[in-house]
Structure 1
Amino acid sequence: MTTATSVGALRSTEFIAGAKATFPLIVGAIPFGIIFGTLAEPSGLSALGALAMSLFVFAGSGQFIALGLLAAGASIPIIIATTFIVNLRHLLYAANLVPKVRHLPQRWRVLMAFGLTDETFAAVSSRYLRRDDIETAHWFYLGSFLAMYGNWVLCTAVGVALGELFPDMTQWGLDFAMSVTFIGMVVPYLTSRPMWAAVIVGGMMAIATAALPHKLGLIVASLCGIAVGLSLFMLEKRKQQGLENRV
């Protein structure tokens, strides 16, 4: 009984810690979620459709891109392809987490896959960097995921409601908060030249291709940033291996 009680307490502690670690990122996501809700109906998506997208898709940037493409009259294949490529970064997140979660049962990994967002990955990565024990880390992950998920769905509902009362809310400039949040998430992890190169090239290409239709500039910028960063990483790794072989 004592052991079960202590394990339960540890799980609760991890869960609460995960929610707390994600709270600063949630603050930045609140305006983002509200804006998504306000944009839904003007873009051609019903209130129920907006809520369903937040409940079952749960991908902030992907939802905004899909909404913009929907408003522009893009075809379903274009919407699917664009959101798929933009969200390819989650494959990198997942690859990073595989060694930490492979001991978990399938039901946990499925749940964690659905809850994998930029914010939760940032919070969980920090947890894994600070501590080596991973036996109960998935409860930390669950706390982070549910905190962000509940916030996103709630803010979407608030945005849908406010959008009818204040049709010009999208002109208030609330979206700056999410941009600042993403900058705060990314910068601490830019610890190598390939990372900096990927960010700089991706940013420059995003500006250069901003005029492309259907947000295709985002695809071009993402692919260019990934290609440059990966190329530099492989080049540095090859040089390091060459030096080791000489020694």
Structure 2
Amino acid sequence: MIYGVSALGAGIPAGIAQAMSLVVFAGSAQFIIAQLVAAGTPALVVVLTAFIVNIRHMLYSASLARHVQKLGWRWKIVLAYLLTDEAYAVTMQHYQRAEIESDYKHWYFFGAGLTLWTGWQLSTAVGVFLGAQIPASWSLDFASTLTFIALVVPALKDRANTAAALAAGLAALAFVALPLKLSIVAAIFTGIAVGLLMEKRSKKYHAMSEEGEEVCHSKSSG
């Protein structure tokens, strides 16, 4: 809904604003596009910026690949279109919690994505046609930030994930002055690097602990 209001405020016609939710279907990219259009940014820069902001979906898709690798290309196209931050979060949490190994588990992914897609299209329409009635003093634009916080926090279940999230957040702040929202790309790679490093150290620590236990057990047996 907030995006619909922002798009109209940027001078984007109502029909195109609604179409963007159908074609782009990525909240953060749509907000940035609206801001760039309002600033009179050249079209090529707008497209490039949206691409950079959405590059995180490549990481999401790589993470989900093993769960959908047996599907046909039609299913993969549909699920790729429905893949968003929220759909990824709830789907992966479901898969990890249930440890599902089924030929039909992609239906959960599809259901989550379709539900979010429907809500996104309807709320965009509400923003386009009714959003102007909402007082600016409500500061509803902060709702998107709260949404991401609600998605990330439940996923921080170990040191590696927590360290990756903190490092990515700090990197995003440190590189915020970079053009074309490149701070997001910097945050992504920083978070991945720190997460992998912490995971490697954790595995090494567990391996050493197991080795120490085996030595102690051997001595006690002797």
Sort the TM-score into its range (normalised by shorter chain).
0.7 to 0.9
SS at 2:9 equivalent: coil
Is 2:75 the partner of 1:108?
Answer: yes
Is 2:29 the partner of 1:62?
Answer: yes
Q: 2:102 aligns with which of 134, 138, 158?
A: 134
Name the counterpart of 1:205.
171
Shift of 1:232: 4.2
Q: 1:88 aligns with which of 55, 59, 67?
A: 55
CA RMSD of aligned residues (A): 2.8
* Residues 232/87 of structure 1: CA separation in 2 closer, same or farther (3 Å cut): farther
What runs of 5+ residues in structure 2 fail to find an aligned partner?
215-222
The worse-fitting range, judged by mean Cα deviation, of 202-211 and 228-237 is 228-237
SS at 2:70 equivalent: coil
Q: For residue 114 of structure 1, what is the amino acid of its counterpart? A: Y
Q: 1:179 aligns with which of 121, 124, 145?
A: 145
Shift of 1:234: 5.2
Give the TM-score normalised by structure 2.
Answer: 0.80
Q: Write out per-residue CA displacement over residues 195-241 of structure 1, whole angstroms, 9 at most, x where no aligned residue.
A: 2222212222333444555544434434433443345445656x469
| Kept after mapping to 1: 8 A contact 2:68/2:76 | yes
* Residues 128/223 of structure 1: CA separation in 2 closer, same or farther (3 Å cut): closer
| Kept after mapping to 1: 8 A contact 2:167/2:194 | yes
Shift of 1:157: 0.7
Shift of 1:64: 0.9
| Kept after mapping to 1: 8 A contact 2:52/2:181 | no
Distance 2:93 2:184 in 1: 28
SS at 1:41 equivalent: helix
Is 2:88 the partner of 1:121?
Answer: yes
Larger Rg: 2
Greater RCO, CA 8 A, separation 6+: 1
Q: 2:38 aligns with which of 49, 71, 74?
A: 71
Q: After superposition, where does 1:1-247 map in structure 2 within 5 Å?
A: 34-129=1-96, 130-163=98-131, 165-166=132-133, 169-210=135-176, 215-233=181-199, 239=204
Identity %: 43
| Kept after mapping to 2: 8 A contact 1:38/1:169 | no
Distance 2:91 2:207 in 1: 34
Matched residues, number: 211
Q: For residue 62 of structure 2, what is the amino acid of its counterpart? A: A
Distance 1:188 1:161 in 2: 35
